[in-house]
Amino acid sequence: MPNVNFSVPEDVKEAFNTTFDGQNKSALMTSLMREAVERAQSQQRSQDAFQRILARRQNAPCITEEQFRAAREEGRP
């Protein structure tokens, strides 16, 4: 398994070591890195979806407020 080296501020290192004393730091870092990757990928998927919605809106038909209200009223029971 490859090693990864990161530079972190001393206070972060101390807090990490204190908080996770007695735990497998390698397993913990692997878990934290996986969570960070998943979070970043999720954010990218959300951003991509947002951009697709914006692109579709460029081709959406324009209607007046009056047409919108009429359509809304027609759909009500």
Number of domains in the chain: 1
The two tokens of residue 35 are 């969570």
Residue partners of 29: CB distance under 8 A and separation at least 6: 4
Query: Does residue 4 belong to any structural domain of this protein?
Result: no
Query: Does residue 28 belong to any structural domain of this protein?
Result: yes
Question: Would the pTM of this model clear 0.75, i.e. be above it?
Answer: no
From the list 26, 33, 34, the residue with the least C-alpha distance to 3 is: 26
For residue range 16-33, list pLDDT tens digits in order: 999 999 999 999 999 999
Query: Does residue 29 belong to any structural domain of this protein?
Result: yes
Query: Does residue 26 belong to any structural domain of this protein?
Result: yes
CA–CA separation, 32 vs 41, rounded Å? 14
Query: Does residue 5 belong to any structural domain of this protein?
Result: no
Confidence tier at 61 by pLDDT (50, 70, 90): confident
Query: Does residue 52 belong to any structural domain of this protein?
Result: yes
Give residue 59's domain range: 10-74
